[in-house]
Chain A
Amino acid sequence: MSQIAYLAPTSADEAAAALIKGGATARVLSGGTDLLVQLRAGRLAPGLIVDVKRVPGAIGIRQEDGGFVIGASTPGMTIGEHAALEKAWPGVVEAVMLIGSTQIQGRASIAGNLCNASPAADSAPALIAARATCVIVGPSGRREAPVEAIGIAPGRTSLAKGEFVLEIRLPPRAARSADAYLRSIPRTEMDIAVVGAGVNLTLDADGVIADARVALGAVGPTVALAPDAGAAIIGTRLDEAALARLDDAARSACQPISDKRGTVDFRTKIAGVLARRAAAIAYGRARGRA
């Protein structure tokens, strides 16, 4: 690793310029919990590491225009400690807090979780269900893209050369709204999702679901929105028939692989189960706010 150079730019422009200059061997360092493992394993041999944590906006949580802006390099533990964020977006926060151990939470960031582009990334289903967007900065300035547009294949993102994710934006929260995230792992703690399901709901004044978004992880090459699964429960009070339709739609949205963590059949079945359970939790939370 002796040929590596390290830069910690203090502006977005400087970071983008460094990434362009570093070319194909430049890598963005956010929390480092994936990057340093890849370096050590020899899977990556970067010429330049650009640490973006000193770029203004990269760390911290603020409320803006009725929504939340999370610096994309903010450690998970800081996200978990933010009471107002957890109250508004319990599903997003519980998803982030499932990533790794306490030590990993001290460093791991949403930017890294999204840009490592694992189909099993725990924060992604919750963020996609939440209609979260990424503020991306790069050589041609700033742009905003939905979270679901970041990962395009396992380990690959849609980011152009010199671009990195600076902020995550969560939209203003309508009344009677709540979200939830569940994942299935063979242990109780610290494992990679075999299936993940994020559900985000808004109820009307009568407790009928007016808006629903369901996103599934680890059942396809990327974490993806399952529009039919959301549509299956809109207009209902999440009765048994609605839950059965949700289960069907979630299973239909799956295109998983079989690997040592789970078979196609297992993943598909569990996706339906987790979508139902996460929807029930989100519904209960939203009703609690009525």
Chain B
Amino acid sequence: MTSRRHISATVNGDPVEFLSEAGTTLLDALRDELGLTGSKEGCGSGDCGACSVIVDGRLICSCLMLAAEAEGRRIETIEGMADGSTLHPLQRKFLEHAALQCGFCTPGLLVAAKALLDANPDPSESETRYWLAGNLCRCTGYDKVIRAVMDAAAELRQARV
């Protein structure tokens, strides 16, 4: 019950260890302890999705999870999405379709979209819109985002054939 706990987890395939206060969120630990600042804090209350990460295969808001809960868990963040300097197809399609302006919501949207395509390689537009309803963007409107995700999904399906 000391104030700082030692946490061991896996982040983007690498084992990591860090110290955390009991009340610290996973988002703050990722950003402040591990220097992974791609996950953003928009609202801090689970409404905006800018802090989206995948924990043990589940898409979650990292602002609504305590860092202490990450013990032994497998965490995927936006930093693990590109393969070195090769962008993930979703990242490339976001650029091609200009699916971002300020970019603050983009890491969360990309992580959420990846979780969708991991679970369902051929989502309908309606399924995609519902899946991404927890990711708020205040710049672009959502149409370009949806077009980018649908296009990336098509390319990924093609690559599998």
Interface residues of A (CB under 8 A from B): 1-8, 29, 32-33, 36-37, 39-41, 49, 51, 53, 75, 77, 100-104, 106-107, 189-190
Contacts and interface: CB of A to CB of B under 8 A. Distances in A.
Contacts of A29: 66, 69
Nearest to B53: A103
A41 B63 CA distance: 13
A93 to B, nearest CB: 16
Contact of B134 (A6, A37, A102): A102
A189 B128 CA distance: 13
Contact of A103 (B1, B5, B59, B130): B59
Interface in B123-140: 130-135
B59 A106 contact: yes
B65 A36 contact: yes
- 7 closest A-B pairs by beta carbon, nearest first, are A101-B134, A1-B23, A6-B22, A106-B58, A4-B23, A106-B60, A5-B1
A32 B66 CA distance: 8
A54 to B, nearest CB: 9
B120 to A, nearest CB: 11
Contacts of A5: 1, 3, 22
B1 to A, nearest CB: 4
A103 B61 contact: yes
27 contacts: A1-B22, A1-B23, A2-B23, A6-B23, A29-B66, A32-B69, A36-B25, A36-B65, A37-B45, A40-B44, A40-B45, A51-B66, A51-B68, A51-B69, A101-B49, A101-B134, A102-B115, A102-B116, A103-B46, A103-B52, A103-B112, A103-B134, A104-B46, A107-B58, A107-B61, A189-B133, A190-B134
Interface string B109-127: 0001001100000000000
B36 interface: no
B64 interface: yes
Interface in B1-32: 1, 3, 5, 21-25
B71 to A, nearest CB: 7
Nearest to B69: A51
Given A40-B44, A107-B58, A102 B68 contact: no
Interface string B41-57: 00011100100100100
B68 A6 contact: yes
B115 A1 contact: no
A100 B134 CA distance: 8
A104 B1 contact: no
A53 B25 CA distance: 17
Contacts of A32: 64-66, 69
Contacts of B24: 1
A140 B49 CA distance: 41
A189 to B, nearest CB: 5
B92 to A, nearest CB: 23
Interface string B90-108: 0000000000000000000
Contacts of A106: 55, 58-60
B60 A103 contact: yes
Given A33-B46, A100-B46, 14 more contacts: A1-B21, A4-B22, A4-B23, A8-B71, A36-B46, A40-B63, A49-B23, A51-B69, A75-B58, A101-B134, A102-B134, A104-B61, A104-B134, A106-B59
Nearest to A78: B58
Contacts of A51: 66, 68-69
Contacts of B134: 100-104, 190
Contacts of B22: 1, 4-6, 49
Contacts of A39: 23
B133 A190 contact: yes
Contacts of A37: 45-46, 64
Contacts of B63: 36, 40
Contacts of A75: 58
A36 B45 CA distance: 8
Nearest to B25: A36
B147 to A, nearest CB: 19
A190 B133 CA distance: 8
B131 to A, nearest CB: 5
